[in-house]
Chains A and B, each alone.
Chain A
Amino acid sequence: DAGVIQSPRHEVTEMGQEVTLRCKPISGHDYLFWYRQTMMRGLELLIYFNNNVPIDDSGMPEDRFSAKMPNASFSTLKIQPSEPRDSAVYFCASSLEFGEAFFGQGTRLTVV
């Protein structure tokens, strides 16, 4: 398996634009997590899914953020409209029920 795949690796966008981050989890994993890493807050959990169903989205900072998992092999994190303070590295991770989470390489988002 190629591991968790995220795209794009880097995204630079202008304030106000819509941004969509994509993630392909490891096949067979039934948990998917979206994390955001910043200098100030470290690695913070935004939302996680179990069997494609959102379980806990309490970490989503604002209504501008939304996440979907239409099937077991794909998830998106969307920011609309984007703001400069959204600039961060966004990680997707997946896991089995009783196992460690495997992370993708992340998407570095810069909003100017």
Chain B
Amino acid sequence: DQQVKQNSPSLSVQEGRISILNCDYTNSMFDYFLWYKKYPAEGPTFLISISSIKDKNEDGRFTVFLNKSAKHLSLHIVPSQPGDSAVYFCAASGRRDSSYKLIFGSGTRLLVRP
């Protein structure tokens, strides 16, 4: 059973526009959420995270929003750049029950067109 779901396998956006990547989770024990970016032939690299006590976290062009009632989070990239083209994974963990393992979604491939 998929506890973390990314329902859009791909997304194409024009350079300069906003990219919105979505993620849903089912486990109410998750209280820490992360986004990772992955280029081909490389390991995932950490992008941004958010704790369940917040509903928004911003870092430069990247903002993560968390809607706990809907069990939904999203990553906004503004403005999008061609170098942002990669696969984006959301991940979740439940620290309250001392489970630090990260459960990943299946990823969304973002293409930013010049």
**Interface residues in chain A, defined as those with a beta carbon under 8 Å from any beta carbon in chain B:** 4, 31, 33, 35, 41-45, 48, 50, 55-56, 91, 93, 95, 97-98, 100-106
Contacts and interface: CB of A to CB of B under 8 A. Distances in A.
Interface string B36-47: 100001111110
Task: Please indicate which of the listed interface residues B34, B102, B107 has the most CB atoms of chain A within 10 Å of its own CB.
Answer: B102
Given A100-B34, A100-B49, A45 B43 contact: no
Given A100-B34, A100-B49, A91 B101 contact: no
A106 B107 CA distance: 17
B89 interface: yes
A48 B100 contact: yes
Secondary structure at the B interface, as helix, strand, loop or mixed, is strand
Secondary structure at the A interface, as helix, strand, loop or mixed, is strand
A91 to B, nearest CB: 6
Contact of A105 (B34, B43, B102, B103): B43
B104 interface: yes
Contacts, number: 51
Nearest to A92: B43
A101 B102 contact: yes
Interface in B47-69: 49
B43 A106 contact: yes
Contact of B107 (A43, A91, A97): A43
Contact of A33 (B45, B46, B102): B102
Contacts of A104: 43
A95 B100 contact: yes
